[in-house]
Structure 1
Amino acid sequence: MASEQRLKILQLLADPHLYFGQQWSADPVEFGVCMTLIAEALNIAQPTASRHLAILNEAGFIRVSKHQKWAYCKRDEAEIRDYVRWLGSQLSVRE
């Protein structure tokens, strides 16, 4: 979460039809978004995008699935909600 690029990825994946409706290989909402399209949307190299996506995957914020030669990414909404709830509890004023 300490990276502007990773936050942007999560924002884009929040509405995959809007940002990745051109994806022809699989429905971006149901199956996820191809890593190549994510790299293009951020205007970064694929290895850089892959590293950001790997970190998000390790943190549990996205799920990655492979189909044929492509890898697809989808937000894990439950994990994101849990993190936001935890972060809120850590930032609240305690007396």
Structure 2
Amino acid sequence: MASEQRLRILQLLAEPGKHFGRQWSADPVQSGVCMTLIAEALAVTQPTASRHLDILRQAGFITVQKHLKWSYCKRDEATISGYLNWLGREISAASTGS
């Protein structure tokens, strides 16, 4: 989460229809967003985008589903929510000295 690019990916994937509505190979809301379009949105090379996406996948914040020659990325809302809840509790505990 220390990467501005990874945070941007999560922001873009929060509203896939708005940011990736031109995706023709699959519905971006239901199937996820093609990695190529994510790289274009970030203005980075595909290997750079793939690295960021892999880190997010390993953390559980996104899922990646392959279909034919494309890989589609989608936020894992349950994991993101759980992480934010945990972070909130940790920050609260740190501020109260618990």
Short-chain TM bin:
over 0.9
Look up the match of 2:83: 83
What does the per-residue CA deviation read over 1:5-31, in whole Å, with 9 as the maximum and x for residues that have no partner?
000000000000000000000000000
Runs of 4+ in structure 1 deviating by more than 6 angstroms, as ranges, are none
Shift of residue 94, structure 1, vs aligned partner: 2.5
What does the per-residue CA deviation read over 1:33-79, in whole Å, with 9 as the maximum and x for residues that have no partner?
00000000000000000000000000000000000000000000000
Aligned equivalents of 1:62, 1:42: Cα separation in 2: 17
Look up the match of 1:12: 12
Look up the match of 2:96: 94
TM-score by length of 2: 0.95
Alignment of 1:1-95 (within 5 A): 1-92=1-92, 93-95=95-97
Aligned equivalents of 1:13, 1:89: Cα separation in 2: 25
TM-score by length of 1: 0.98
Aligned equivalents of 1:71, 1:2: Cα separation in 2: 24
User: Identity over aligned residues, as a percent?
Assistant: 69
Q: How many residues align?
A: 95
Q: Which runs of no fewer than 5 residues in structure 2 stay unpaired?
A: none
